[in-house]
């Protein structure tokens, strides 16, 4: 999905200062202020395809947490796609296109599986095996395999590659996502101990990075493998965070019954399953 503040979307873009944890864009993004963060990037995005890709990833992430704002993400991605000039930029834009189609399939009004698979396939063709964008691509292919194709074995293989690659590149936020999804597969397979390890590691990384909007889903996931008293404490803490952020993630808000969840898609597919598919 996305990674830590060094580079939105998991691509090594030379350590742009606004994306560093503690930078303005990162602080806004981590506090669910995607619109404000995008506005800071917009002037440069008009003429810099790298920044345009960063803005598109930011707004796709907003869709993931809000199940809304699809048109803004689409417009930002089209701007990025129109400006790409290098193979790396084309790969990044295609990876973002595949992810937007995936998120829309899980949280939006229609199935875009074919689009997601085609875009991620193009990304793979454009990237050399050791490219910095490979771990993110592998992770997103794992999401499609697990939640759209219902193939947990293929998902585990993709997540494992993504996990190893993210750790090798020092990509701590992506690592928090790979821990989370490997743990969920372990839990589905009955390995509670490994699931607890993964959920705890994911939470720890997000807290260390200050990725506030991602902490509540990590708390709720850890609650699933905790003793009843501890689980209640974790869910209460998650509910407080969701409420403080204005009801995002919307699917977790509904699950926890913490606050109303505006922006639910017409088919109402927001809840435990949707949260597991994207958080």
- Which pLDDT band, with edges at 50, 70 and 90, does 275 fall under? low
The predicted-structure confidence for 83-99, as pLDDT tens digits, reads as follows 999 999 999 999 999 99
- For 50-108, write each residue's pLDDT tens digit: 999 999 999 999 999 999 999 999 999 999 999 999 999 999 999 999 999 999 999 98
More confident residue, 9 or 20: 20
pLDDT for res 192: 97
User: With the CA atoms of 197, 202, 203 and 209 taken in that order, what torsion angle do they form, in degrees rounded to the nearest 10?
Assistant: 140
Which pLDDT value is given to residue 172? 96
Q: Is 189 helix (H, G, I), strand (E, B) or coil?
A: coil
CA 47/CA 42 separation, integer angstroms: 9
What percent of the chain has pLDDT above 70?
Answer: 85
Report pLDDT for 270: 35
Element (H, E) at 38: helix 34-45
d(CA 80, CA 78) in angstroms, rounded, equals 5
**Cα angle: 95, vertex 101, 107; to 5 degrees:** 130
In the predicted structure, residue 30 carries a pLDDT above the cut 90? yes
Q: How many CB atoms lie within 10 A of CB 159?
A: 27
Task: Write down the pLDDT at residue 273.
Answer: 57
Please determine, for residue 271, whether its predicted confidence score (pLDDT) is greater than 50: no
Mean residue pLDDT of the chain comes to 88
Report the C-alpha gap between 219 and 240 in whole angstroms.
Answer: 11
Ordered domains of the chain (ranges, CATH): 8-278 (1.25.40.10)
CA distance 276 to 150: 13
Exposure string (b/e) for 261-272, b if CB count within 10 Å is 16 or more? beebbeeebbee
């Amino acid at each position: 999905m996305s990674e830590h503040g060094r580079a939105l979307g998991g691509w090594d873009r030379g350590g742009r200062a606004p994306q560093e944890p503690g930078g303005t864009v990162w602080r806004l993004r981590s506090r669910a202020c995607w619109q404000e963060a995008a506005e800071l990037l917009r002037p440069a995005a008009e003429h810099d395809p790298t920044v345009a890709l960063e803005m598109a990833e930011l707004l796709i992430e907003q869709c993931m947490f809000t199940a809304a704002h699809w048109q803004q993400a689409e417009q930002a991605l089209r701007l990025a796609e129109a400006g790409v000039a290098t193979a790396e930029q084309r790969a990044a834009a295609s990876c973002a296109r595949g992810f937007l189609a995936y998120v829309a399939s899980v949280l939006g009004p229609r199935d875009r599986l074919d689009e997601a698979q085609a875009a991620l396939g193009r990304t793979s063709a454009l990237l050399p095996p050791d490219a910095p964008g490979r771990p993110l691509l592998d992770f997103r292919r794992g999401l499609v395999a697990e939640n759209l194709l219902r193939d947990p074995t293929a998902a585990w293989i993709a997540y494992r590659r993504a996990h190893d690659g993210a750790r090798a590149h020092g990509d701590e936020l992506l690592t928090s996502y790979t821990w989370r999804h490997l743990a969920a597969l372990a839990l589905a397979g009955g390995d509670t101990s490994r699931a607890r390890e993964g959920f705890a590691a994911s939470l720890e990384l997000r807290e260390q990075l200050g990725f506030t909007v991602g902490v509540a889903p990590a708390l709720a996931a850890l609650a699933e493998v905790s003793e009843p008293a501890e689980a209640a404490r974790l869910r209460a803490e998650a509910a407080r965070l969701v409420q403080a952020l204005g009801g995002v993630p919307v699917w977790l808000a509904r699950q926890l019954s913490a606050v109303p969840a505006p922006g639910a898609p017409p088919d109402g597919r927001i809840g435990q399953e949707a949260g597991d598919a994207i958080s």
